[in-house]
Amino acid sequence: MTDKPKWLALGEELTWIAVREALVTTDHLNLLNLQVKPIPYMSVCHLNACFSLSIDSNKKGWHSAAICLLRQCVETLTIIEIGLQNAKYAEPLLLAWAEGRKSHGELRKSLEEDVWPSYGTGLWDEPWSKYFGNLARAVQPYAHYSPEVQGWQWVNVMQLGENSFLMGIGPQTYDDLKASRITLLHMLVGWTLARILLESNRSDPINQSKHRIVELGNALAQSKLLFKGEDWATQLIPHMWFRQGHSYRDE
């Protein structure tokens, strides 16, 4: 445990607390429309399954599968967050989504206008809308099997020069840097869920963990794998290397 970076040690602890509390909270939402009532709870169940499988896939070197599952996790966050709002706000939006009349992007637009202004900042001093937009864009290319997804299947075997690498492919191609970057995304999803629950003020265990959630956000902001002010869609592309002599490992 002591050799883990702070963001990982804290993130592993808080993410599963957040998932557990999200399951409990969404299972007891006061939604009167029976068509939409189970949607937020089912979304947490899907997040839990995809998150667990993404972690397992990442450890096995199946990084392309892990990143695709992470996209599913990020999409569930929007549905969960809508469900945590008051019923008058949540029910029409959930029904429109269930009937195919509103996309995830349209739901996020509604949250951006009506909910997120009260959330404060993301990891640094950026508005929550910019933070979540960065998170969504980081996984947006992975809805289909694409060259971007395939990029996560290459393993860096050896660095031959400043910009030259020997790469490998195979059924299980574990790459430490790719695994670390996906693990960071896992913890970002966990922190985002915890923040959403904290803002909803529906879970006593989450409220009691507020200082730990803040601590995790600060630790994530200090990770060497993220850079303040940069677009995550560019930072977190599959083919990204650190210059020789520069470590991506956090203390």
CB atoms within 10 A of CB 110: 18
* Domain ranges, ordered by start, for the chain: 6-235
- Predicted confidence at residue 171, as pLDDT, reads 80
pLDDT string in tens for the chain (251-residue length) = 458 899 999 999 999 999 999 999 999 999 999 999 999 999 999 999 999 999 999 999 999 999 999 999 999 999 999 999 999 999 999 999 999 999 999 999 999 999 999 999 999 999 999 999 999 999 999 999 999 999 999 887 555 555 555 567 778 789 988 999 999 999 999 999 999 999 999 999 999 999 999 999 999 999 988 888 778 878 788 776 555 544 556 55
Amino acid symbol at 105? G
**Closest among 182, 176, 144, 143 to 157, alpha carbons compared:** 176
CB atoms within 10 A of CB 102: 18
Give 13's contacts (C-beta < 8 A, 6+ positions apart). 212
Q: Which residues pair with 121 in a beta bridge?
A: 127
DSSP character string of 160-216: EETTEEEEE-SSS---HHHHHHHHHHHHHHHHHHHHHHHHHT--HHHHHTHHHHHHH
